[in-house]
A and B are shown apart, each in its own frame.
Chain A
Amino acid sequence: MSTTTVQPTDGFVIDDSAPRWQMSPLTKRRWANFKANKRGYFSLWAISIMMVLSFFAEFIANDKPLIMGYNGSLYVPVLVSYPETEFGGVFETEARYTSHAVQDLIDAGDGWMIWPLIPFSYDTIDLYTEGAVPEAPSARHWLGTDDVGRDVTARIIYGFRLSILFGLALTFFSSIIGIAIGATQGYFGGLVDLIGQRLVEIWAGLPVLFLIIILTSMIEPNPYVLLGLLLLFNWMSLVAVVRAEFLRTRNFDYVNAARALGETDSVIIVKYVLPNAMVATLTFLPFLLNGSITTLTSLDFLGFGLPAGYPSLGELLAQGKANIQAPWLGLSGFFTLAIMLTLLVFVGEAVRDAFDPRRSAT
């Protein structure tokens, strides 16, 4: 790579001007290291594909047709809400395309419908199924139905998306808080650090589970409330890492040089010191994400998490426990979580190894 050649002697540097957006050699080496870890690389692809697919859950599992024709015009029920009256029905509410009555109406108007792969949404109760709920896996319900007759596959797809999004949001916000607090403590040190550490220790000593149980019984939880509540206790994991990194770096010569130039503390923290803490932080993130997902799932499992109606993997597990005679519930929930968390751990391991300075590209 000619862009990295620097003359070994102490003379001029030959410059063949690398564009600024190019990956630095260090980043390249890390990416190469990451790719060299086949398991982590594969896991990254697998989890990314699953995430992207789940973001389009409405087009994969839905109780509305993707597209339909009626009396010669085109309709997109998956995106637009049409009242039943549109198709000659009586209700002015949105048409329920799964009901035989509506399907008959559409047939009468020379209509046709293209259904998603799984014609149920996470909250669709299948009224036309033959067996008793929870129903065993069949061609109609690939992973069976739960104890109120909702399709398990659909619930898993939506539940996966909710878990990932919730986990990402929780990780993102707790990283911001954790980094900010760790950076402040580490950079200023001394009394700030001393008091900060004691407060963190006290806060960490609170019985989180009981507090959340009490708080969710006072406030009706929805994903945002739950996010806020978990955020209150989840930000501490990064503080120690970032603080340690800042304590190490705060007296480096280049930080002193920046002070001597007259840089303000906030600029020094963000521009000079923070980049050093990013490696430790990034290494931590996949595991933090894992923890966030697990927390949400366990709260749901215990019944203190998301209210009924949300597609939750924890609730699926709880159903599995309540319906031992229907093993597909517990097994589906278990495998979904196991695969998701394992893939994330593999990605995390690969990231950690890629950032390890003692490993060089092979």
Chain B
Amino acid sequence: MSDRILEVDNLSVAFRGEEVVRNVSFTIDRGETVAIVGESGSGKSVTALSVMQLLPYQYASHPTGSILVDGKEVVGAEEDDMLKLRGDRVGMVFQEPMTSLNPLHHIEKQISEVLYVHRGMGLVEARDRTLELLNLVGLPRPEERLRSYPHELSGGQRQRVMIAMALANEPDLLIADEPTTALDVTIQAQILELLDELKERLNMALLLITHDLGVVRKMADRVCVMTHGDMVEQGTADQIFDQPQHEYTRALLAAEPSGDPVPANEDAPIAMNARDVKVEFDLAKGFFAKKSVLTAVNQVSVVVRGGQTLGIVGESGSGKTTLAMALIRLIGSEGSIMLGDTELQGMKSKALRAYRDQIQIVFQDPYGSLPPRLSVNQIIEAGLKIHQPELSPVERRTAVSASLVEVGLDPEAQDRYPHEFSGGQRQRIAIARAIILKPRMILLDEPTSALDLSVQAQVVDLLRDLQRRYQLAYLFISHDLKVVKALAHELVVMKDGVIVEQGPSERLFESPETDYTKALMAAAFELTTHETSA
């Protein structure tokens, strides 16, 4: 068996005749990690799926190229041969652990399926092997988990099960397509370390598909950079990071959100002062069920001054978004919410409407936050129609144009529909919708998380610029500490609905006090899990 596990030569992929990947070549040797980096639409996942021949071949085709797995050609291989290859010689881990496991089968069945198919193992044998695999991927208490269904596991645990499935037959090559993107930072670090360790132990080749340069820096021996279907550069990780040759690589490396927050005015008036906010969800079903309550946000107090940003960080389920929804009174809560001098809590919805123009919100998903069947103009002017009904249609149109210019979009584009815009442009439209009312405060709920790296940086710049110009108060929610660092003056770390630590963001980034914050920082900036043991 040679050391060359995968050899991709001059590979192209076309969908309905349109080439989405052009002339890509790379190789992976045993024990090596190769990362393919690129933004969304760069063709990196398509390349990975070609290796498994899992593309929709009704309309996908390979105009040129060959893919050798262990010296065997897979392009145009018989489906029977591919079935033997998949899950046996080549394993794959997908991005979304929520949907890549079958919800109807417990995990023993899902893992042993691979063993039945490729190894012809019996029931007992397969169970032993499954247990061994679950131990290998570090799933706690594997004996009890055998009969668990996917919904009973957390995201990280599911990803471990996925990895166990992929490793069941000790493949030569493991393809991991964004294996950690959907996971929290601390879990992300754990999964990456697991992958690295398993690669060493099983002497596999690892093909890692990712958009996260931090992950690449930590994991990869060699890096391939893709953009718009072309592989523009490849080399060792050190070469790529220290001496990037291609201008796209340089742009990508430079695109990480950076810089410092807008200088803050310490005496700025308080825009929002929320005390002891508490949100509870009633979990009891039906009339006779026992009362059972989930406290999503518990006694949280935050203060935001004009022109300043309060960053709220925490992992999923920590109550960040729930807090934002409570502060803007989209869900019920207890405690006091002062917007300037006005108490919002307890206000009837009619009275509240008058204050809606002072506090606005921008959501994470730019595809979900714009109504698909309204034009950009209609979307942005909706707020004006409510809060400044005296404006004539012409005045409204002028105002919409002005706000589009403000966010860096062409005002001529306002008669188009959201689907005609890219993710970054849509996020700008969402920001335009928020600022047209000249609010004093904007809640930003992960506004950059769904965007490509280079676009993230642009949106961060835009937000800083708007803050400087209008002395806007931001409540910035994110799990991405790098972005938070570039924007926040004050920082709140949340876990399980309570504040773990809060203070000036500089101090928190420099010298975090609680273990949780330390773990979070380590995971985010160094992708290590060391502090979690504390």
Chain A residues in the interface with B (C-beta under 8 A): 4, 6, 8-15, 17-18, 20, 24-26, 252-264, 271-272, 275-276
CA distance A206 to B370 in the complex (A): 42
B421 lies within 8 A of A6 (CB) = yes
CA distance A256 to B365 in the complex (A): 12
Instruction: Please give me the residue from chain B that is nearest to A24 by CB atom.
Output: B417
B368 lies within 8 A of A253 (CB) = yes
Supply 10 further A-B pairs (C-beta < 8 A) apart from A6-B421, A26-B419, A272-B371: A10-B428, A10-B454, A12-B413, A254-B370, A258-B382, A260-B361, A261-B356, A261-B386, A262-B357, A276-B372
B330 lies within 8 A of A256 (CB) = yes
A253 lies within 8 A of B365 (CB) = yes
> Taking A12-B409, A20-B415, A262-B386 as contacts, is the C-beta distance between A257 and B420 under 8 angstroms?
no
Can you list 12 A-B pairs, Cβ within 8 angstroms, ordered by A? A4-B420, A6-B420, A12-B409, A13-B412, A13-B413, A13-B420, A253-B368, A256-B361, A257-B433, A260-B328, A262-B354, A275-B373
B421 lies within 8 A of A13 (CB) = yes
A271 lies within 8 A of B374 (CB) = yes
Instruction: Please give me the residue from chain A that is nearest to B436 by CB atom.
Output: A261
Chain A residues near B422: list those with CB within 8 A: 6, 8-10
Contact of A13 among B360, B374, B375, B410 (CB under 8 A): B410
B409 lies within 8 A of A13 (CB) = yes
CB of B387 within 8 Å of the partner chain = yes
Interface size on B, residues (CB 8 A): 47
A10 lies within 8 A of B416 (CB) = no
- Shortest C-beta distance, A261 to chain B (Å), equals 4
CB of B383 within 8 Å of the partner chain = yes
Chain B residues near A271: list those with CB within 8 A: 371, 374
> Taking A256-B330, A257-B361, A261-B383 as contacts, is the C-beta distance between A17 and B433 under 8 angstroms?
no
A261 lies within 8 A of B382 (CB) = yes
Chain B residues near A15: list those with CB within 8 A: 410, 412-413, 416
> Taking A13-B409, A15-B413, A262-B386 as contacts, is the C-beta distance between A254 and B371 under 8 angstroms?
yes
CA distance A164 to B143 in the complex (A): 65
CB of B219 within 8 Å of the partner chain = no
B410 lies within 8 A of A262 (CB) = no
Chain B residues near A12: list those with CB within 8 A: 408-410, 413
A257 lies within 8 A of B369 (CB) = yes
A254 lies within 8 A of B369 (CB) = yes
CA distance A310 to B534 in the complex (A): 87
Chain B residues near A13: list those with CB within 8 A: 409-410, 412-413, 416, 420-421, 425
- Shortest C-beta distance, B329 to chain A (Å), equals 9
CB of B94 within 8 Å of the partner chain = no
Chain B residues near A20: list those with CB within 8 A: 375, 415
B363 lies within 8 A of A256 (CB) = yes
B386 lies within 8 A of A253 (CB) = no
Chain B residues near A260: list those with CB within 8 A: 328, 330, 356, 359-361
Chain A residues near B428: list those with CB within 8 A: 10
Residue in A8, A9, A254 with the greatest tally of chain B CB atoms within 10 Å: A254
CA distance A255 to B369 in the complex (A): 8
Chain B residues near A256: list those with CB within 8 A: 325, 330, 361, 363
Chain A residues near B433: list those with CB within 8 A: 257, 261
CA distance A302 to B368 in the complex (A): 52
Within 8 A of A (CB), among B340-358: 352-354, 356-357
